[in-house]
Structure 1
Amino acid sequence: MCHRYPDRMRLPLSPRDARALARALRRRGPTLAALTEAGAHRFGSRTALVVGDAAWSFADLWGDAERLAAHWHREVLDHPRAVVAACEGPSLVLSVLAAGRLGLDAWLANPRRDTALDRVIPRDALLVHQGDAPEWHAGPTVAAKDALEQARVPQPRLAGTRRIGRLVLMTAGTTGTPAPHVTKPFGVRGMRQLEGLHRRVGIASTDTVLGCSPLHHGHGLQLLAATLMTGATLVSSPYTRPATRVRLMRERGATMVSGVPTQLERLVAYVEESGEAPSLRRIVAGSEPLTPELVVRLHAAWGPIVMNAYGTTETGTVAVASPDEVAAHPASVGRPLPGTEIGIVGHARGSDAEGRVWLRGAGRTVITDDRGRIDDGRLTLLGRMSPEDDLAIGT
């Protein structure tokens, strides 16, 4: 039986919530800062973000971002420039939101590869860094721990701005120098795409989501945006051991887990060994191939609640397979989200075919190195393209 998605539905908003979101969108544009500002009005003291032992409500998160932006405007920035967040956790989130409040571009970078950013990021950018300030950067710098302290210092009210900052996501740089991808994942198309992701996954305001991906990755950032939009709580837990994640799931009452299959494999291995499997209603895998073997193990531990997401840094998540689809076809990544498209190179748009996959999302079109098959609108991944595949396509 074909699974039907409620893609034509819209995020239900009360008149008060709709007004708060509309006001924020008018001031900040369709950005992460707008979602956070609206969330502060809509959800107030409800917990928005948990990192380690620290937690921020929706109101506190936006208040800290406003204070940090005001401090930078008065004490650090002598003219508009980009903000590069080469840090983790709350300092990254606040840096991105402060940049959005100032209407500046925000670059998100892996702090564990910050030396690779030399000659990549703008020379006059404000760099928010872990540890000591790097000698290679000529522009202003702020330590991540100092940014957290600056966000708590009272500041005079900051005037508005007409600029709308962009997000710049970096490739991992595992095969070379990290490359920037200027994107607007929460632009007009991106908002529709984000709303579709919320609908497909079914994130509710009552959910607590354990996020295993770093927030500087597109996977982690899009999850943050989805929780800010819906009022759910995000417990960010990258680079932690499975035992710690299980403890957080239990202590924080997590109802959903999102991560890459490698992280989920380690998590389920711990659960199999310990016998401790806190109750969940949804597991969302993405950013790596999901194997049938891992699906079987996850189902044995938690039941048929696994979803499989697919996308790229440039496009964001463009397709998500439902639990029913994953149970029947573990390699399937489902059907495209609203505002996105998928296709096979060399074949008519919307047709069933097999070959190299192309994607469109967040206003960008990307030709991937993935081989896939589209059947009745559903994409199944078949591995990576080889030179022989390209020769066959050319003939």
Structure 2
Amino acid sequence: MRLSLSPREAGALARSLRRRGPTLAALAEMAAHRFGSRTALVVGEATWSFEDLWGDAERLAAQWHREVLERPRTIVAACDGAPLVLAVLAAGRLGLDAWLANPRRIAALDGVAPRDALLVHPGDAPSWHAGPTVAASDVLSSARVPQPRIAGTRRVGRLVLMTAGTTGAPTPHVTKPFGVRGMRQLEGLHRRVGIASTDTVLGCAPLHHGHGVQLLAATLLTGATLVSSPGTRASTRLRLMGERGVTVVSGVPTQLERLVAQVEDSGAAPPTLRRIVSGSEPLDAALVARLHAAWGPVVMNAYGTTETGTVAVATPDDVERHPDAVGRALPGTQMGIVGHPQGSDAEGRVWLHGAGRTVITDDAGRIVDGSLTLLGRLDPRE
């Protein structure tokens, strides 16, 4: 499924890329011109159209430029939902770097994130932070206040994603996920998963997570609606699927297991889905069988890292044959087995390349005819 752009739409994208660089902000500005009043984002009961999302981001950027920022700074968005989306887009509008962080782990950013950054957060500012702060709850109200337009910027802001930091301090990874290679990777993800402008996508991953950001980018690129639902109960997600007409669900296996268990317990027919995209955790055969019993053979398995983004996606046919299959590399990415020539059939430790980074993983895998199947985890010391 390739993008189909009219001359007017292609022109809007080209102008956005010239003004904002190859960034999330450029995608949002292009989407505002291309998709207008269609629903872009749903968080709880609140909705944003594509034009409203970009309009709010521009107003927020103008307010921060005039009243909050004395000089250009990094923006640390330690929040989630719509405040995070608007903060990242406003940073892109201002040409500033945006760090995405788990709001429940702000203390762990001490010594990692810039101390003088503008911090957007849901609670009290941490003691280590010396810069200006904005409460996440104030972002939405500030974004609706009319503002005079501000000048453009020649600087292209970078996006900084954080590892989870479950075994230590979170590690920042500077990336330009929508550069030339990143755009190929993003469009390849769109084609592989097959997200269409008519889709409504339920995203279970937090938007500060790499998969959440990629999903947001994919919906801005294609005109699909993103229903963001991290940290909610399976019963709530199932209700949202029916109320919002969800056609694609993206989540980790743990979330998908709870969702299908809710379907099994209710005894009611579940809403129809075109795609279920699993990622970030191993997918086992028993869960695949339960998902297929509820929704048919629509399960896909995505594979990547925080540093590389999604590198490979297994099709429903791949997953039906083997649930540990993660498929072929996306355009703009590479993968292989350490110690073996790229493109050869081999078995061993997996390496990945995407978003301008190469990572040697702790996963064992087997590549046959360019398709990767995971075989389990390896000792990182080996």
TM-score normalised over the length of structure 1: 0.95
Per-residue deviation, 1:185: 1.1
**Cross-structure match for 2:303:** 310
**Cross-structure match for 2:144:** 152
Per-residue deviation, 1:135: 2.7
**Cross-structure match for 2:79:** 87
Secondary structure, aligned partner of 2:178: coil
Does residue 382 of the first structure (1) align with residue 375 of the second (2)? yes
Alpha-carbon distance between aligned partners in 1 of 2:255 and 2:182, rounded to the nearest angstrom: 27
Alpha-carbon distance between aligned partners in 1 of 2:380 and 2:8, rounded to the nearest angstrom: 56
Per-residue deviation, 1:300: 0.4
- For 1:3-82, list aligned pairs within 5 A: 10-82=2-74
**Cross-structure match for 1:320:** 313
8 A Cα contact 2:234 2:262, kept in partner: yes
Which segment is superposed worse, 333-342 or 178-187? 178-187
Alpha-carbon distance between aligned partners in 2 of 1:213 and 1:259, rounded to the nearest angstrom: 6
Per-residue deviation, 1:119: 1.6
**Cross-structure match for 2:336:** 343
- For 1:281-300, list aligned pairs within 5 A: 281-300=274-293
Letter in 2 for 1:291: D
Alpha-carbon distance between aligned partners in 2 of 1:363 and 1:120, rounded to the nearest angstrom: 22
8 A Cα contact 2:123 2:135, kept in partner: yes
Alpha-carbon distance between aligned partners in 1 of 2:155 and 2:4, rounded to the nearest angstrom: 29
- For 1:100-249, list aligned pairs within 5 A: 100-249=92-241
Alpha-carbon distance between aligned partners in 2 of 1:244 and 1:128, rounded to the nearest angstrom: 27
**Cross-structure match for 2:327:** 334
Listed as ranges, the gaps of 5+ residues in structure 1 are 1-5, 391-395
Alpha-carbon distance between aligned partners in 1 of 2:380 and 2:358, rounded to the nearest angstrom: 22
Alpha-carbon distance between aligned partners in 2 of 1:75 and 1:118, rounded to the nearest angstrom: 26
TM-score normalised over the length of structure 2: 0.98
8 A Cα contact 2:362 2:380, kept in partner: no
Alpha-carbon distance between aligned partners in 2 of 1:177 and 1:95, rounded to the nearest angstrom: 23
Alpha-carbon distance between aligned partners in 2 of 1:176 and 1:281, rounded to the nearest angstrom: 38
Percent identity, please: 81
**4+ residue segments displaced more than 6 Å:** none
Aligned residues: 381
8 A Cα contact 2:298 2:316, kept in partner: yes
Alpha-carbon distance between aligned partners in 2 of 1:244 and 1:114, rounded to the nearest angstrom: 27
Letter in 2 for 1:346: G
Cα-Cα RMSD: 1.0
Letter in 2 for 1:158: I
Deviations 1:126-168 (A, max 9, x none): 0000022223210110000111111110000111000000000
Secondary structure, aligned partner of 1:294: helix
Per-residue deviation, 1:387: 6.8
Per-residue deviation, 1:315: 0.4
Per-residue deviation, 1:172: 0.6
Secondary structure, aligned partner of 2:348: strand
Does residue 251 of the first structure (1) align with residue 224 of the second (2)? no
Alpha-carbon distance between aligned partners in 2 of 1:185 and 1:266, rounded to the nearest angstrom: 31
Does residue 280 of the first structure (1) align with residue 273 of the second (2)? yes
Alpha-carbon distance between aligned partners in 2 of 1:361 and 1:65, rounded to the nearest angstrom: 28
Deviations 1:178-205 (A, max 9, x none): 1111111111110010000000000000
Per-residue deviation, 1:296: 0.4
